[in-house]
């Protein structure tokens, strides 16, 4: 197992260089620091030792980002504490450690070590066990500074009610692939879900850990036959509920006060059939589950169709203020 010739962490000098490193390495660990930060200096040897042991060209890169000289990068990734360590896998944020917490950083590095071993043993596959279909398809751009956290959903505990397609419906909605409807060709298998007895759907999504949810991306691609009254519709009214221990009943959800109610119209759907829904972020802090209730559809049909669901926000450990130094308002 050979490492790179220069096993010291790479000092990032521009946003372009940062993006190039993310694109050319399956695994990237970034240390956001400042020269004046005492805790940054204290934990530096652990990061540098890991870099010496694990750095490997085009597989695993250790990088350092000076938040005083690279403020745009720090802002883009919501770095508000020093030091902050962010682990990227296939270009996506997988985890972060805030503060000079030796135990948490060591845990992150142990996870990275396992992913690195997988990447070395299977160089033709995606690092860290990603599906063979490659990067996750999304129907809209990610908001600046946030990442796709759909992988935080605990799929085995999900539940989807009033769905026509059976128990695989949730996995269909969370599938990483591009919806077949966008290819203009009929799919051999149905890769979307439709409501069954009426237009309502109830989706329960529990999470592996607390998350902060910023944006909900919903893709709906019903057929464009205006003469077919039975063709499924896009959702119109959606009610969201947080921190429920189980799915809700339809009557219960109708009467219950929602965390947020969303009303969608035709202008909210982009050319890829996706509504990029910004949530009231303050109401979606530290949540452990989400119930998505499709109340009605935009039309006269008795069925609603959903193709994909993506969650965007931040998944990470709670800030421990006693161990962190605050960066300025930059």
Shared domain for 76 and 203, answered yes or no, is: no
Shared domain for 103 and 172, answered yes or no, is: no
Residue 3 lies in a domain: no
Residue 284 lies in a domain: yes
Residue 127 lies in a domain: no
Catalytic residue among 40, 160, 201, 213: 40
Query: Of 103, 121, 139, at which residue does a domain stop?
Result: 121
Shared domain for 152 and 117, answered yes or no, is: no
Shared domain for 117 and 151, answered yes or no, is: no
Shared domain for 271 and 165, answered yes or no, is: yes
CATH code of 102's domain: 3.40.30.10
Shared domain for 300 and 253, answered yes or no, is: yes
Residue 327 lies in a domain: no
Q: What pTM was computed for the model?
A: 0.58
Domain extent for 56: 10-121
pLDDT of residue 234: 96
Shared domain for 230 and 84, answered yes or no, is: no
Shared domain for 99 and 152, answered yes or no, is: no
pLDDT of residue 46: 96
Residue 329 lies in a domain: no
Shared domain for 111 and 233, answered yes or no, is: no
HEC-encoded secondary structure of the chain: CCCCCCCCCEECCCHHHHHHHHHHCCEEEEEEECCCCHHHHHHHHHHHHHHHHHCECCCEEEEEEECCCCHHHHHHCCCCEECEEEEEECCEEEEEEECCCHHHHHHHHHHHHHHHHHHHHCCCCCHHHCCCCCCCCCCCCCCCCCEECHHHECHHHCEEECECCCCCHHHHHHCCCCCHHHHCCCCCCCCCEEECCCCCEEEEEEEEEEEEEEEEEEECCCCCCCCCCCCCECEEEEEEEECCCCCCCHHHHHHCCCCEEEECCHHHECCCCEEEEECCHHHHCCEEEEEEEEEEECCCCCCEEECEEEEEEEECCCCCHHHCEECCCC
Residue 264 lies in a domain: yes
CATH code of 254's domain: 2.60.120.470
Residue 134 lies in a domain: no
Catalytic residue among 10, 29, 30, 37: 37
Shared domain for 231 and 303, answered yes or no, is: yes
Shared domain for 156 and 302, answered yes or no, is: yes
Domains of the chain: total: 2
Catalytic (active site) residue 40: yes
Q: What is the pLDDT along the chain (330 residues), one digit of tens a residue?
A: 344 445 899 999 998 899 889 888 889 999 999 999 999 999 999 999 999 999 998 899 999 999 999 999 999 888 999 999 999 887 778 888 999 999 999 988 998 988 888 877 765 444 443 333 346 788 898 888 889 999 899 888 899 999 875 556 888 899 888 888 887 656 557 889 999 999 999 999 999 889 999 999 999 999 876 556 678 999 999 999 999 999 999 999 999 999 999 999 999 999 899 999 999 999 999 999 999 999 999 999 999 999 999 999 998 653 343 333 433 333
Residue 64 lies in a domain: yes
pLDDT of residue 161: 93
Shared domain for 80 and 176, answered yes or no, is: no
């Amino acid at each position: 197992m050979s490492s790179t010739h220069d096993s010291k962490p790479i000092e990032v000098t521009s946003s372009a260089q940062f993006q190039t490193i993310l694109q050319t390495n399956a695994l990237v660990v970034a240390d956001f620091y400042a020269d004046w930060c005492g805790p940054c200096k204290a934990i530096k040897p652990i990061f540098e030792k890991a870099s010496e042991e694990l750095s490997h060209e085009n597989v695993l890169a250790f990088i350092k980002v000076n938040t005083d000289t690279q403020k745009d990068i720090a802002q883009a990734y919501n770095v508000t504490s020093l030091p902050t360590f962010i682990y990227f896998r296939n270009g996506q944020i997988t985890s972060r450690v805030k503060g000079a917490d030796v135990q948490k950083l060591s845990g992150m590095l142990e996870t990275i070590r396992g992913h690195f071993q997988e990447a070395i043993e299977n160089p033709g596959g995606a690092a860290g066990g990603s599906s063979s279909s490659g990067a996750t398809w999304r129907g809209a751009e990610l908001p600046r500074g946030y990442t796709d956290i759909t992988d935080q959903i605990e799929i085995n505990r999900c539940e989807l009610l009033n769905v026509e397609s059976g128990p695989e419906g949730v996995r269909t909605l969370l599938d990483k692939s591009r919806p077949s409807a966008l290819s203009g060709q009929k799919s051999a298998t149905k890769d979307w879900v439709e409501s069954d007895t009426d237009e309502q759907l109830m989706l329960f999504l529990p999470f592996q850990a607390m998350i902060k949810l910023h944006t909900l991306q919903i893709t709906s691609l019903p057929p464009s036959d205006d003469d077919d009254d039975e063709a499924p519709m896009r959702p119109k009214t959606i009610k969201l509920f947080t921190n429920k221990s189980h799915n809700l009943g339809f009557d219960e959800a109708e009467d219950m006060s929602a965390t947020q109610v969303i009303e969608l119209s035709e202008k909210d759907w982009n050319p890829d059939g996706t509504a990029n829904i910004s949530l009231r972020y303050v109401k979606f802090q530290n949540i452990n589950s989400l119930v998505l209730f499709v109340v009605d559809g935009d039309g006269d049909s008795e069925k609603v169709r959903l193709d994909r669901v993506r969650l965007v926000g931040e998944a990470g450990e709670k800030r421990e203020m006693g161990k962190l130094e605050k960066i300025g308002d930059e």
